[in-house]
C-alpha cells in the first residue's frame, strides 16, 4: 500500500529526544526555548511561542485579544474544523466566507460583504501554502478596527509579498502535527511582531498565571508542550532546506507528469513563495478515481467537509465554490519521506485512469 502521507523521525530526532530525557528536560525548558529561537530566526519574526497543537494556537490567539461574547469572527468555508471551533468555544459569532472560484482560499469579494462594525477578527487560512491577499484583508480589517489571525497551520515556511505567511497579521498560528514540514507528533506555534501580545501569550499558555509573584492575570489554560516532544523539532529545523526541496520536487513531478484530462493537479505559486506540503488534485470523477487507486493499493485523502456543514456554527448564506472544492478535491501520496518510485507508480495509474473507465 502506498499511503497518502509519508514522513519519518530518524536517528537525529531520537538522539535529541534522548538528550532531553537524560538531562531531565520534561516541561518548558531549554528544548522549547531552542525551538522558539530557531523558528524566530527562520521566519524572521521577533516573537514565537510554542504550544501543544495548532488548534491550541488558534484558541490562545483569540484569548489574547480579550474579545466579548457574540463578537464576530470571519473564517473561510474550506479549512479544518479547528479554525471555526476555536471562536465557537469562546462563544464568538462565526461568519463563514466562501472560497475563490479557482483556488480554495478566501473569496475577497464575499469577505468584503461580510465585514461590518461587528467584525472583530478575520482569520485567513493559507491552505497548503497559498497566500491570501493580506494587503486587501489588512485594509478591510483596518476599516472596522478588526484583528487578523493568520491560520498558517498548513503554510509553514511559505512566503507572500510581505514575508513569511503567519508573520504578517497580528498573530500567526502554525501546526507541528504529522502533516507539517516539522513534525513532533502534536505541537504548534504562535508568531507575532507585538511584544505585548507575546508576553500575554506566554502567560495564557500557563493558565494565564504570572509566576513569582503568583498572580492570576488572564484567562488561559494548560497549553504547554513537553520538552521531550519539542526536542524532536530541533534536528528537523537544522535540516529544513533539504526538506523544503523535497516538497517542491514532489509537487513539480506530479504537475509535470500527470497527463489526464479528467484529473487536474491543483497549482501552487511556488515561484511566488508557496511551499506546497502536499499535492492536491481535483476531478469531477473523484470517487471513481479514488476507487480505482484503492484497487491498485494507493491511498488518497479526500478534502475535509466544508465547515458550514457543522450545524452548531449556524452558518448563513451559500458557498458554491467551497461545495465544489470539497466534493471534487483529494490529496495524492505526498510527504517528505515518500519514495520517488512510489510517486511514479501513482502517476502511472492516474494516467491510466481513462483506459480503466472505458473498459
Q: Are 129 and 233 found together in one domain?
A: yes
Residue 70 has pLDDT above 90, yes or no: no
pTM: 0.96
Residue 27: its pLDDT value, please? Answer: 79
Flag whether 253 is in a domain: yes
Residue 359: its pLDDT value, please? Answer: 44
Residue 120 has pLDDT above 70, yes or no: yes
Residue 27 carries which DSSP code? S
Residue 235: its pLDDT value, please? Answer: 97
Q: How far apart are alpha carbons 182 and 172 in whole angstroms? A: 16
Average pLDDT over every residue of 183-191: 96
| pLDDT band at 239; cut points 50, 70, 90 | very high
Residue 358: its pLDDT value, please? Answer: 45
- Please report, for the domain that includes residue 164, its CATH number: 3.40.640.10
C-alpha cell, 239: 535540516
User: pLDDT per residue over 121-175, tens digit each?
Assistant: 999 999 999 999 999 999 999 999 999 999 999 999 999 999 999 999 999 999 9
Question: What is the span of the domain harbouring residue 120?
Answer: 11-237
Flag whether 5 is in a domain: no
3-state secondary structure of 232: coil
Number of domains observed in the structure of the chain: 2
Return the percentage of the chain with pLDDT > 70, whole number.
99
Q: Are 131 and 159 found together in one domain?
A: yes
> Among residues 208, 237, 266, which one ends one of the domains?
237
Average pLDDT over every residue of 29-35: 93
Q: Are 134 and 30 found together in one domain?
A: yes
CA proximity to 271, closest of 102, 158, 151, 106: 158
Q: Are 265 and 214 found together in one domain?
A: no
Average pLDDT over every residue of 19-31: 84
Q: Are 228 and 304 found together in one domain?
A: no
> Among residues 186, 218, 237, which one ends one of the domains?
237
SS3 content of the chain, % helix, strand, coil (to 5): 40, 20, 40
Q: Are 139 and 19 found together in one domain?
A: yes
Q: Are 170 and 268 found together in one domain?
A: no
Residue 25 has pLDDT above 80, yes or no: no
CA-CA distances (angstroms) from residue 98 to 76, 163, 203, 297, 307?
6, 25, 35, 34, 10
Q: Which residues contact 352 (CB under 8 A, 6 or more apart)?
A: none
| pLDDT band at 230; cut points 50, 70, 90 | very high
Residue 357 has pLDDT above 70, yes or no: no
User: pLDDT per residue over 314-325, tens digit each?
Assistant: 999 999 999 999
- Please report, for the domain that includes residue 340, its CATH number: 3.90.1150.10
Q: Are 300 and 266 found together in one domain?
A: yes
User: pLDDT per residue over 285-302, tens digit each?
Assistant: 999 999 999 999 999 999
Q: Are 218 and 254 found together in one domain?
A: no
Residue 355: its pLDDT value, please? Answer: 53
Residue 29 has pLDDT above 90, yes or no: no
Q: Are 39 and 170 found together in one domain?
A: yes
Mean pLDDT score of the chain: 96
Q: How far apart are alpha carbons 251 and 38 in whole angstroms? A: 26
Flag whether 4 is in a domain: no
Flag whether 78 is in a domain: yes
Count the neighbouring beta carbons within 10 Å of the beta carbon of residue 161: 11
User: pLDDT per residue over 263-278, tens digit each?
Assistant: 999 999 999 999 999 9
> Among residues 222, 237, 252, which one ends one of the domains?
237
Residue 26: its pLDDT value, please? Answer: 74
Q: Are 122 and 193 found together in one domain?
A: yes
Flag whether 2 is in a domain: no
Amino acid at each position: 500500500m502506498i499511503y497518502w502521507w509519508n514522513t519519518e523521525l530518524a536517528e537525529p530526532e531520537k538522539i535529541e529526544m534522548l538528550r532531553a530525557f537524560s538531562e531531565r528536560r520534561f516541561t518548558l525548558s531549554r528544548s522549547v526555548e531552542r525551538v522558539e529561537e530557531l523558528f524566530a530566526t527562520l521566519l524572521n519574526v521577533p516573537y514565537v511561542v510554542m504550544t501543544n497543537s495548532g488548534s491550541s494556537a488558534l484558541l490562545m490567539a483569540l484569548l489574547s485579544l480579550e474579545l466579548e461574547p457574540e463578537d464576530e469572527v470571519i473564517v473561510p468555508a474550506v479549512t479544518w474544523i479547528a479554525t471555526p471551533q476555536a471562536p465557537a468555544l469562546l462563544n464568538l459569532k462565526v461568519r463563514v466566507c466562501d472560497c475563490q472560484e479557482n483556488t480554495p482560499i478566501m473569496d475577497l469579494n464575499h469577505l468584503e460583504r461580510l465585514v461590518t462594525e461587528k467584525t472583530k477578527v478575520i482569520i485567513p487560512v493559507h491552505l497548503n501554502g497559498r497566500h491570501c491577499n493580506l494587503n486587501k484583508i489588512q485594509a478591510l480589517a483596518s476599516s472596522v478596527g478588526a484583528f487578523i489571525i493568520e491560520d498558517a497551520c498548513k503554510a509553514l515556511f511559505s512566503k507572500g509579498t510581505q514575508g513569511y505567511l503567519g508573520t504578517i497579521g497580528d498573530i500567526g498560528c502554525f501546526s507541528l502535527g504529522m502533516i507539517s514540514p516539522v513534525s513532533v507528533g502534536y505541537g504548534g506555534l504562535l508568531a507575532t511582531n507585538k511584544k505585548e501580545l507575546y508576553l500575554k501569550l506566554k502567560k495564557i499558555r500557563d493558565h494565564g498565571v504570572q509566576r513569582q509573584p503568583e498572580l492570576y492575570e488572564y484567562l488561559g489554560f494548560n497549553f504547554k508542550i513537553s520538552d521531550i516532544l519539542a526536542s524532536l523539532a530541533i534536528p528537523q529545523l537544522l535540516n529544513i532546506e533539504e526538506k523544503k526541496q523535497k516538497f517542491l520536487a514532489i509537487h513539480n513531478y506530479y504537475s509535470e507528469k500527470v497527463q489526464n484530462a479528467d484529473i487536474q493537479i491543483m497549482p501552487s505559486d511556488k515561484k511566488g513563495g508557496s511551499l506546497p506540503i502536499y499535492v492536491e488534485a481535483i476531478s469531477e470523477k473523484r470517487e471513481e478515481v479514488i476507487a480505482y487507486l484503492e484497487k491498485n493499493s494507493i491511498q488518497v485523502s479526500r478534502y475535509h467537509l466544508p465547515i458550514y456543514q457543522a450545524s452548531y456554527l449556524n452558518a448563513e448564506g451559500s458557498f458554491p465554490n467551497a461545495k465544489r472544492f470539497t466534493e471534487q478535491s483529494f490529496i495524492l501520496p505526498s510527504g517528505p519521506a515518500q519514495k520517488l518510485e512510489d510517486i511514479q507508480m501513482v502517476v502511472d495509474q492516474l494516467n491510466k485512469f481513462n483506459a480503466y473507465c472505458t473498459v
